[in-house]
Amino acid sequence: DMYSQDGDADEPEWVKTEREQFVEFRDKNRDGKMDKEETKDWILPSDYDHAEAEARHLVYESDQNKDGKLSKEEIVEKYDLFVGSQATDFGEALVRHDEF
């Protein structure tokens, strides 16, 4: 629904990829549309740990010396990333802990 050909015969690669994802993974009952359960599985997959993914993202983006640990300085340097993160409850966890 997001793509309009507007006379262009060639689809962009992202449209082809999304169509394949829809057919292969999202439309589980093969009725051509996503029902409530299919949409829920797409948005909140049961086998995906959101907290772990967010924590890995924070470490990946903030760990400047790539030692797998975050120092106080590395966290302060990327303060805006932590304040906007769900893992820190959008910065609330930073206010409650003196070490941050």
pLDDT along the chain (100 residues), means of 10: 69 88 93 94 83 89 95 92 73 58
**Domain coordinates in residue numbering, the chain:** 11-41, 48-93
pLDDT for the residue numbered 2: 67
Residue 11 neighbours by CB under 8 Å, 6+ apart: 3, 5
What is the Cα–Cα distance from 91 to 84, expressed in whole angstroms? 6
pLDDT at 89: 67
Amino acid present at 20: E
**Could you tell me the CA-to-CA distances from 29 to 32, 43, 55, 74 in Å, in that order?**
8, 17, 34, 47
pLDDT at 26: 92
